[in-house]
Chains A and B, each alone.
Chain A
Amino acid sequence: MMAVIFCINGEKKSLIRTIMSVGGFALLCTSTYLTIQFLELRQIDTTSEFLFTESAMWYERFNIHYSVGVDGISVAMLLLSSIVVITGVFVSFAMEEKVKEYFLWFLMLSIGVYGFFISLDLFTMFLFYEVALIPMYLLIGLWGSGKKEYSAMKLTLMLMGGSAFLMVGIFGIYYNSIPEGGEGTFNIQEIAANVQALKANGGDISWEYIFFPLTFVGFGVLGAMFPFHTWSPDGHASAPTAVSMLHAGVLMKLGGYGCFRIAMYLMPDAAQEQAWIFIILTGISVVYGAFSACVQTDLKYINAYSSVSHCGLVLFALLMMNKTAMTGAILQMVSHGLMTALFFALIGMIYGRTHTRDIREMGGLMKIMPILCVCYVIAGLASLGLPGLSGFVAEMTIFVGAFEHTDFFHRTFVILGCSSIVITAVYILRVVGKILMGPVQDKHHETLTDAVWYEKVAAFGLIAAIAAIGMAPLWLSNMIGGGIENIAKLFTYGL
């Protein structure tokens, strides 16, 4: 399966647009096919954690394998990625300069993302993580707008800083999980087994307390956790549309996914002990991001802060460490990925027409470009958690799950989290009211045109996905839940 994905990626490299979209479509088909296959196989094979596993040694000395496989969570993430990638391709059709190079890096980014989601080997995972990171710099620095060099630099450096933590964490895990007399391994499943065995044998697990925070913070930077989120507004604001989409939509999910798959899965004890610190931080980012978004004037900033808030919720939910909340977290990842991609796509389209992202300079766009604006409203509604769209499903699952904790501390933060849905409504409606409704602000805007076909394809595709999840969440939730169980069972109140 992996190979197929790579084949497509490989074959596309030298070609442009059309081939890109065909490739993207093929990718989407592959992911869908994978999903269906996965669901079918899951019916038969209910025991093994990962399906479609493959493994090949590539660095013997440290026992590093190129091993891949998927469970419910990664399938969901792959599906998300392919949807975002193909819509991103469509959105990039307006790109004029250096198209080939652009798509090349774009592909590089997506390869990293796919690779990350399917890797089962810590080191390979880290490798793909870096592969996904580097193209960001070029994509923003070359094709961006505004203070692009600064933003690209900031983004890359902060994320690199995060991956520095991460690397320490990964090697810490590697060396400490080597069983007595055994051989070290980078394979996630084996490490998890080793750690459990170590714990069962009464071994020393205090190293977890050092490496858990490192790993969590390392991924938390990518997941825009307060106070490591400041790359996000600048980065998103400067990035070209499709890159913002892919970045906010998928790359930020790498953070959550990594926290979940590496930090919490491999070091469950430390996770439980130290969760409170990160609950505070993520709780803050949920509310803080939302409040910040309320007063921004740049559309992309608003959305970036909104992402901070939503991704904060993802990590927050993960830290609740029970199946329901974690399922909610993954749902939120998917949902936020789609909806923020839609947001950025629309912002890009609006920006491409009005040449401003300042909400004070726009108004009454609904009259001028109804299709785009209706899509924007839908994105907004998804973001503020309207039932029938994906955001609601995710948020509710998170809150119900988070409410399973009965102590005062957790309760307080859950209620704090709930309050974010109101603040979200405030800033979403503020934008909608300001730029879409009301009288037309700028006379020049009256001649602008509505969406063209490829923009419609992108927007409608994302909306369809959002609505599909929102209307019928059960299959997705069950699929994810299956993957969650393996990890959730490590925690005291996991199931």
Chain B
Amino acid sequence: MEQLASLAPYVLILPLCMFLILGLFGKKMCPKVSGLLGTTVFGVVSVICYYIALKYFFSGEYQIGETYQQVTLFNMEWLRMNQDLVISIGFLLDPLSAIMLIVISTVSLMVHIYSMGYMHGEGGFQRFYAILSLFSFAMLGLVVATNIFQMYIFWELVGVSSFLLISFYYFKHSAVRAAKKAFIVTRFADMFFLIGILILSYYTRTFDFDKLTFITDGHVDAIVNSDLRTMTFLGFPVISIAMFLIFLGGAGKSAMFPLHIWLPDAMEGPTPASALIHAATMVVAGVYLVARLFPIYTFEAPHVLQIISYIGAFTSIFAAIIACAQTDIKRVLAFSTISQIAYMMVALGVSGYGGVNGLGYTASMWHLFTHAMFKALLFMAAGAIIHAVHSNEMDAMGNLRKKLPITHITFLIACLAIAGIPPFSGFFSKDEILVAAFETNKWVFAVEYFVAGLTAFYMFRLYYRIFWFGDPEEGYEHEPHEAPLNMTFPLMFLAAVTVITGISWAFGKVSFTELISSDFTSYEIHTHWNIALPSIGAGVIGILIATFLYLEKTGRPNKAVSYIKKPYLWAYNKFYIDEIYLFVTNNIIFQRICQPIAWFDRHIIDGFMNLLSWVTNKTSQETKEIQSGYVQQYAWVFIMGVITIVLLSLNL
């Protein structure tokens, strides 16, 4: 315990220091040095994270019976609002944050290594590493947050580092636009998050997770002891509203419909950043948030949980459909990410609490873990491909399997994993989600089942288009070649993780349910083959269709598209959601609100002030006319004055 407590601060301090050092002095360093420095330091951080996580899980120190205990490694008062409400910066260790530590440190370390190759020779290399360090700091801070406000703090920091990374190529209009969009959309969601926090914390008089999620007898203590249980607003229980608002915050970061629009555009950033932030870590923050507050959701706001599952289901199918029609490989992956995160949300939405009931919860976290690995892998592989062909478009690719062998193999592994083919990791996590959905809500299950097939289809469409399908029309500018080792190493490493976790699960070596569950108590589950088999079937069917259409260069895809021209076009244009947003922001907010307000200010308010000054001015102008300088006028006034006085004194 003491040992971990003494180590824990370094998890946050080191990346922050790196950020400051690289940010302030990066300019003076040689790029290579800064890259190496960043990577090495983050390597140390990863080791600490691993150490903490492994120690936590396997030393047995932190278990009472089968239940993992929540441990606060350190907690430091940061800002005191009033008697009860204190924002602290601390380090909360429980299975949830331990798992996240592993995910983040792994992916982040891989991205650090990968970027050394990918970003080689780019201007602003040091800046990239600085922001990467900032992001790692923020993300780690987020997952180890001891209170909801600390989470919010790092939540914002994550958002801003995402902004900075997307706008890394700041001289490109599209990048700047995408960055702005990402930031504003998430910020919009964060506002709801903040309001949710305010409501929740006002009534429970605490920000701390350990108090907020403390459960006795199937109720959350903090809430039972407050007015929240009985309060309603507009007919809705206030607690539900609060939790829904908090979920909206998560939805913004996790790109749930309809707040998903920023994620595809965020692909304007450098690919390693996309891999880290927009695929593996930051976007699952929403899932993490819901998971973190899961006890409140499940006990006090079950309806919200239901809504979450519906939104998740809709988003997953929605994004999957769009993914089928995209031609930019990073965008396909982006929509796939949206869809997969929605999967996790669904899993949380259908989950119950405790033991097997909490299967969805476990599955969600498990899927988060596996997805982070293989999606980061996919992105990095995509990065390697882009690095090789200098384009994001599918049309500029094809037949790359010989030219990029390592990328090809690792990409295939990841595709199989995401398509849910055993024994890769994705199969198991996805399977559990389907099981959990099946037991709770058949409709959601049906949707998810379909999405599983769809996922297999679009992933293999991507795979075939890149690695098979024949050479691109224009040919390659110069022969694509395999990326250097520092780029392929992360690919191989992540592929290995994907395979090994899958296999070890298959052979029962590591059971995820032992590590993480809704009440942190381990339980046993078995693979439900009655659901697993059809889901494999769906995956296989998806793959087969993709094979049929895209293995060779034929007219089949075009033909297929011609059958569903309209829907295809809709999906290709992402169902015009972007356009709707654009309309709302441009035409309604800017033109209907901002412009009139500015006009009102300049003309009415300021006009009123100017009118006042005009009136004053005019009056004094008129008054000064009396002082005309004409002697005769003065004389007249004088005489009349005298006469008046006389008349007055006469009392006539």
- By a beta-carbon cutoff of 8 Å, the part of chain A in contact with chain B is 154, 157-158, 226-227, 229-231, 288, 291-292, 294-296, 323-324, 364, 366-367, 381, 384-388, 392-393, 396-397, 399-401, 403-404, 406, 414-415, 418-419, 421-422, 425-426, 429-430, 433, 436-440, 472-474, 477-478, 481
Min distance, Cβ A300 to any Cβ of chain B, angstroms = 15
Complex Cα distance, B191 from A393, in Å, reads 15
Complex Cα distance, B606 from A96, in Å, reads 33
A291-B597, A387-B156, A400-B198 known; A425-B81 Cβ under 8 A: no
B595 CB within 8 Å of chain A: yes
Which one of A229, A406, A426 lies within 8 Å of B184 (CB-CB)? A426
B79 CB within 8 Å of chain A: yes
Q: Are B195 and A418 in contact (CB-based, < 8 A)?
A: yes
Complex Cα distance, B607 from A230, in Å, reads 9
Residue of B nearest to A406 (CB): B202
Contacts of B216 in A (CB 8 A): none
Q: Are A437 and B170 in contact (CB-based, < 8 A)?
A: yes
Contacts of B266 in A (CB 8 A): none
Q: Are B154 and A474 in contact (CB-based, < 8 A)?
A: no
Contacts of A366 in B (CB 8 A): 170-171
Q: Are A294 and B191 in contact (CB-based, < 8 A)?
A: no
Complex Cα distance, B467 from A23, in Å, reads 70
8 further A-B pairs in the complex, CB-CB below 8 A; given A399-B194, A422-B191: A154-B609, A230-B609, A288-B601, A386-B160, A387-B154, A418-B198, A429-B183, A433-B167
Q: Are A429 and B79 in contact (CB-based, < 8 A)?
A: no
Contacts of A385 in B (CB 8 A): 156
Contacts of A364 in B (CB 8 A): 170-171
Min distance, Cβ A94 to any Cβ of chain B, angstroms = 24
Q: Are A436 and B156 in contact (CB-based, < 8 A)?
A: no
B201 CB within 8 Å of chain A: yes
B77 CB within 8 Å of chain A: yes
Chain B 580-609 near chain A by CB (<8 Å), digits 1 or 0 = 000000000110011101100100011011
Min distance, Cβ A468 to any Cβ of chain B, angstroms = 13
Complex Cα distance, B190 from A422, in Å, reads 9
B157 CB within 8 Å of chain A: yes
Segment touching A, from B173-181, B257-265, B564-572: B173-181
Complex Cα distance, B608 from A231, in Å, reads 12
Q: Are A399 and B77 in contact (CB-based, < 8 A)?
A: no
Contacts of B152 in A (CB 8 A): 387
Contacts of B172 in A (CB 8 A): 438-439
B553 CB within 8 Å of chain A: no
Complex Cα distance, B194 from A422, in Å, reads 11
User: Would you give 8 A-B contacts (Cβ < 8 Å), ordered by A?
Assistant: A387-B156, A399-B198, A400-B201, A401-B81, A418-B194, A422-B191, A438-B171, A440-B171
Q: Are A430 and B180 in contact (CB-based, < 8 A)?
A: yes
Chain B 144-158 near chain A by CB (<8 Å), digits 1 or 0 = 000001001110110
A294-B594, A295-B595, A404-B202 known; A477-B79 Cβ under 8 A: yes
Complex Cα distance, B76 from A473, in Å, reads 12
Q: Are B202 and A403 in contact (CB-based, < 8 A)?
A: yes
B214 CB within 8 Å of chain A: no
Residue of A nearest to B155 (CB): A387
Residue of B nearest to A419 (CB): B191
Complex Cα distance, B598 from A385, in Å, reads 23
Complex Cα distance, B131 from A381, in Å, reads 15
B5 CB within 8 Å of chain A: no
A288-B601, A295-B598 known; A400-B81 Cβ under 8 A: yes
Chain B 491-533 near chain A by CB (<8 Å), digits 1 or 0 = 0000000000000000000000000000000000000000000
Complex Cα distance, B80 from A473, in Å, reads 9
Count the B residues whose beta carbon is within 8 Å of the partner chain — how many?
A: 51
A291-B594, A292-B601, A437-B170 known; A474-B176 Cβ under 8 A: no
Contacts of B80 in A (CB 8 A): 474, 477-478, 481
Contacts of A323 in B (CB 8 A): 82
Residue of B nearest to A229 (CB): B605
Chain B 60-82 near chain A by CB (<8 Å), digits 1 or 0 = 00000000000000000111111
B7 CB within 8 Å of chain A: no
Q: Are B154 and A291 in contact (CB-based, < 8 A)?
A: no
Residue of A nearest to B202 (CB): A403
A157-B613, A425-B184 known; A436-B170 Cβ under 8 A: yes
Contacts of B190 in A (CB 8 A): 421
B614 CB within 8 Å of chain A: no
B577 CB within 8 Å of chain A: no
Q: Are A473 and B187 in contact (CB-based, < 8 A)?
A: no
Q: Are B77 and A425 in contact (CB-based, < 8 A)?
A: no
Which one of B154, B598, B605 lies within 8 Å of A296 (CB-CB)? B598
Residue of A nearest to B601 (CB): A292
Min distance, Cβ B583 to any Cβ of chain A, angstroms = 16
B187-218: which have CB < 8 Å to A? Answer: 187-188, 190-191, 194-195, 198-199, 201-202
Which one of B78, B176, B187, B597 lies within 8 Å of A422 (CB-CB)? B187
Complex Cα distance, B615 from A276, in Å, reads 32
Complex Cα distance, B77 from A403, in Å, reads 21
Contacts of A396 in B (CB 8 A): 79, 87, 149
Contacts of A415 in B (CB 8 A): 195
Q: Are B613 and A388 in contact (CB-based, < 8 A)?
A: no
Complex Cα distance, B198 from A406, in Å, reads 11
Contacts of A393 in B (CB 8 A): 79
Min distance, Cβ B26 to any Cβ of chain A, angstroms = 11
Complex Cα distance, B78 from A472, in Å, reads 7
Complex Cα distance, B590 from A439, in Å, reads 24
Contacts of B198 in A (CB 8 A): 399-400, 403, 414, 418
Residue of B nearest to A364 (CB): B171
Q: Are B82 and A324 in contact (CB-based, < 8 A)?
A: yes
Min distance, Cβ B205 to any Cβ of chain A, angstroms = 11
Closest 10 CB pairs of A and B: A387-B153, A437-B170, A294-B594, A230-B606, A437-B176, A295-B594, A403-B198, A425-B187, A433-B176, A429-B180
Q: Are A324 and B194 in contact (CB-based, < 8 A)?
A: no
Identify the interface centre among A294, A414, A481: most chain B CB within 10 Å of its CB: A294
Q: Are B184 and A429 in contact (CB-based, < 8 A)?
A: yes
Contacts of A401 in B (CB 8 A): 81-82
Complex Cα distance, B153 from A386, in Å, reads 8
Contacts of B173 in A (CB 8 A): 438-439
Complex Cα distance, B325 from A18, in Å, reads 66
Min distance, Cβ A405 to any Cβ of chain B, angstroms = 10
A158-B609, A429-B180 known; A397-B187 Cβ under 8 A: no
Q: Are B77 and A386 in contact (CB-based, < 8 A)?
A: no
Identify the interface centre among B79, B152, B179, B613: most chain A CB within 10 Å of its CB: B79
Complex Cα distance, B603 from A230, in Å, reads 10
Complex Cα distance, B51 from A374, in Å, reads 37
Q: Are A230 and B191 in contact (CB-based, < 8 A)?
A: no
Q: Are B176 and A291 in contact (CB-based, < 8 A)?
A: no
Complex Cα distance, B163 from A393, in Å, reads 21
B85 CB within 8 Å of chain A: yes
Residue of B nearest to A157 (CB): B613
Min distance, Cβ A150 to any Cβ of chain B, angstroms = 10
Q: Are A388 and B157 in contact (CB-based, < 8 A)?
A: yes
Min distance, Cβ B19 to any Cβ of chain A, angstroms = 10
Q: Are B78 and A473 in contact (CB-based, < 8 A)?
A: yes
Min distance, Cβ B165 to any Cβ of chain A, angstroms = 13
Complex Cα distance, B156 from A154, in Å, reads 40
Min distance, Cβ B34 to any Cβ of chain A, angstroms = 16
Contacts of B590 in A (CB 8 A): 294-295
Complex Cα distance, B194 from A378, in Å, reads 22
A292-B601, A474-B79 known; A386-B184 Cβ under 8 A: no
Min distance, Cβ A401 to any Cβ of chain B, angstroms = 7
Identify the interface centre among A231, A323, A385, A396: most chain B CB within 10 Å of its CB: A396
Residue of B nearest to A460 (CB): B24
Q: Are B188 and A422 in contact (CB-based, < 8 A)?
A: yes
Contacts of B589 in A (CB 8 A): 294
Q: Are B613 and A154 in contact (CB-based, < 8 A)?
A: yes
Residue of A nearest to B157 (CB): A387
Identify the interface centre among A288, A292, A387, A438: most chain B CB within 10 Å of its CB: A387
Complex Cα distance, B167 from A421, in Å, reads 21
